[in-house]
Amino acid sequence: MTNAIQKRRPIISPELRKQAGSALIKNLFAGLGALVRLDPRSKPEKHGVRHLQDIPYISTGNTAHTLDLFIPTDSPGPHPVVFYVHGGGFRILSKDTHFGMAMQFARKGYLVVNINYRLSEEQPFPAAFQDSCQAYCWMCENIEDLGGDLSRVIVAGESAGANLVTSLTIAACYEREEPFARAVYATEVVPRVSAAACGIHQVSNIERFTTQERVPSFLADRLQEVSRGYLRPEHPPADPALDFADPLVFFERAQAPQRPLPAFFLPVGTRDILLDDTRRLGAALTRMGVANRTCYYPGEVHAFHAFVWREQAKRCWKDQFEFLDEHLG
C-alpha cells in the first residue's frame, strides 16, 4: 500500500502564527538591546557620555511618557541634539531596546533624547504621534539647560519611528489644526535634518505590500498587525489627521510648507519589504526641491543598521554621519 501512513504537517492557525511572529521579533530586538547594554564597550561612561534614565516628559505616571538622555561630557557644548524615536510597528519595543541606537549618536558627540511613547495595543493612532509631539516640546523647553543646541536638531528613527519623525517634520514646518501639531509648530524649532530609516510611511494602505506574491506570510502578518493595530477600523478615513499616519501621501501632494523643510537622510536595504516607501518619499522630496539623500544598501533587510557590528551597518552609519556633518555645518 502506497503512502499508507502519511506524515502531516501540523496545522497552525493564523492567529497563533501571528502571535508567534510578534513574539519572535520582540524578543529578537529585546535581546539585541540587552546584549548591547551588557557589552562593557557600550558603557556610556567609557565614551564620555552621561546617561540619565526614565525622565517624564509629561506627568502621567505612565512609563510610556518617559525619555532617556545621553549627554556628552568630554566635549564642550552646546551639542547638536538627536531626538530619537524607536521603531517596532507602533506595537512593540521601547527606548530601552534602542539603547544601542542612541549610543551610536552619543559616541559621536550628539546629545540624544531617546523617547518612549504609547504603543498601539494601549492606544491606537494618533496616541504615538501625540506623545512624540509632547516629547519634542519637552526637548524644546529643556534641552538648552542640559547643553543642547536647538539650532542643530536632528529627528531620527527607524521603521515606525521613521514614520513618526517624518510626521514631526510636517508638524514643525506646516501650520496645522491638530492641537498636538500646533504645539510643535509653536516651538519654532525646525529640525536641520530628518533621518528616517527604512520607514513605513503609508499605514492606511498596507495592502500595497501584502498582496505581492513575493511577500512571505510571516511578513504579511506583521504588516497587517501594524496597520490594523495602529489605525483601528473605526478611524474615519477622511480625518485630516491621517496625514500623520501617511506622511508619504502628504509629501506626494507637494503642498508648500510655511517653513523650509530640513534635509532628509533616507537609508534602506534593497531586500527590505518596505523599500518602496523610502524610494517614493525620496522622489517626492526631490520633486519639491527638498535636499535629500536616499541610500540603498544591497542585499540588506529591514533595520539592518541596528546590527551595528556588520559591515553594511557600519557603512550606513558612516554615510549618515557624513550627511549630518554636511548639513549641520
Instruction: Reduce the DSSP state of residue 172 to 3 states and report it.
Output: helix
Q: What average pLDDT does range 292-313 have in this prediction?
A: 97
pLDDT for 220 equals: 83
DSSP 8-state class, residue 273: T
Residue with cell 534602542: 98
Confidence of residue 4 (pLDDT cuts 50, 70, 90): very low
- Within a domain: 9: no
Beta-carbon contacts of residue 325 (< 8 Å; ≥ 6 apart): none
* Total domains, the chain: 1
- Within a domain: 4: no
Q: Is the pLDDT of residue 147 over 60?
A: yes
Q: Is the pLDDT of residue 18 over 60?
A: no
pLDDT for 319 equals: 99
Q: What is the pLDDT of residues 81-96, one digit of tens each?
A: 999 999 999 999 999 9
- Within a domain: 3: no
Average pLDDT, the chain: 90
Q: Is the pLDDT of residue 327 over 70?
A: yes
Range of the domain at 19: 15-328
Q: What average pLDDT does range 309-327 have in this prediction?
A: 98
- Within a domain: 282: yes
**Per-residue cell: 289:** 526641491
d(CA 92, CA 86): 10
pLDDT for 15 equals: 56
Q: Is the pLDDT of residue 210 over 80?
A: no
Asked if residue 107 lies in contact with residue 161, where contact means CB atoms within 8 angstroms, the answer is no
The CATH code of the domain that includes 170 is: 3.40.50.1820
Q: What average pLDDT does range 7-12 have in this prediction?
A: 48
- Within a domain: 243: yes
